[in-house]
């Protein structure tokens, strides 16, 4: 099983990317996490460019999502919402809506911020967006507030965050198994 991890932060020492790296070390047996690092190359969405030969960065993103069994998003919060670059990438993946590669796919959203709230509004908005485009969105929320104290040097030091991260990726893997069973039974 493959989980694609997408960080909404481009910063080299991003707390959100650090969370995803920590998640990769806590995956259940048989589950591999692939960190996608192409966000900066995705151009702004333009329907005129959304043609059969889409921009290379978009094609790469769409195939990475299509090839994954689940997607784990980590989002920072900009002005109480999802960073524009991340929303833009999700918008590209969502077209055309009826057969986009996130459709029915289990997804989870986590987030970190240096403030006390841990990007809860950005997470809620991203969940809403993912639901609207047809993904199977986990309710499980992981809000890592005061990230500068809990994540340093690219490493997550807080044992509670690590434990919750482990629970969340386990739940995401279970959602993939449940989807396979539901499809087989349908």
Spatial CA neighbour of 15 closest among 173, 138, 157: 157
- Interface with another protein, residue 67, by CB under 8 A: no
Report the distance separating Cα 73 and Cα 26, nearest Å: 16
User: In angstroms, what is the minimal distance from the CB of 46 to another protein?
Assistant: 19
Q: Does 66 bind another protein (CB under 8 A)?
A: no
Beta bridge partners of 109: 73, 141
In the complex, least distance from residue 44 CB atom to another protein, rounded to whole angstroms: 21
CB-nearer residue toward another protein: 29 or 183 = 183
CA distance 16 to 18: 5
* C-alpha closest to that of 81 among 108, 109, 119: 119
Residue 128 burial (CB count, 10 A): 11
Q: Does 182 bind another protein (CB under 8 A)?
A: yes
Minimum gap (Å) between residue 31 Cβ and another protein? 21
Using CB under 8 A, count the residues that bind another protein: 15
Query: What is the closest distance, in whole angstroms, from the C-beta atom of residue 104 to another protein in the complex?
Result: 4
For another protein, the binding residues (CB under 8 A) are 97-98, 103-104, 131-137, 179, 182-183, 186
């Amino acid at each position: 099983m493959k989980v694609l991890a997408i960080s909404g932060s481009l910063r080299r020492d991003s707390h959100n990317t650090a969370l995803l790296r920590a998640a990769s070390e806590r995956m259940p047996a048989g589950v591999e996490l692939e960190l996608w690092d192409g966000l900066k190359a995705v151009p702004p969405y333009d329907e005129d460019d959304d043609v059969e030969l889409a921009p290379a960065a978009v094609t790469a993103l769409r195939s990475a999502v299509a090839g994954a069994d689940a997607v784990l998003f980590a989002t920072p919060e900009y002005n109480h919402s999802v960073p524009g670059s991340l929303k833009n990438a999700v918008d590209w993946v969502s077209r055309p809506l009826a057969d986009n590669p996130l459709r029915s796919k289990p997804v989870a959203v986590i987030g970190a911020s240096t403030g006390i709230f841990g990007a809860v509004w950005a997470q809620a908005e991203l969940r809403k967006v993912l639901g609207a485009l047809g993904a199977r969105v986990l309710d499980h929320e992981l809000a890592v507030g005061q990230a500068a104290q809990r994540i340093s040097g690219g490493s997550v030091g807080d044992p509670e965050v690590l434990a919750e991260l482990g629970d969340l990726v386990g739940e995401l893997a279970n959602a993939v198994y449940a989807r396979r069973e539901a499809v087989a039974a349908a």
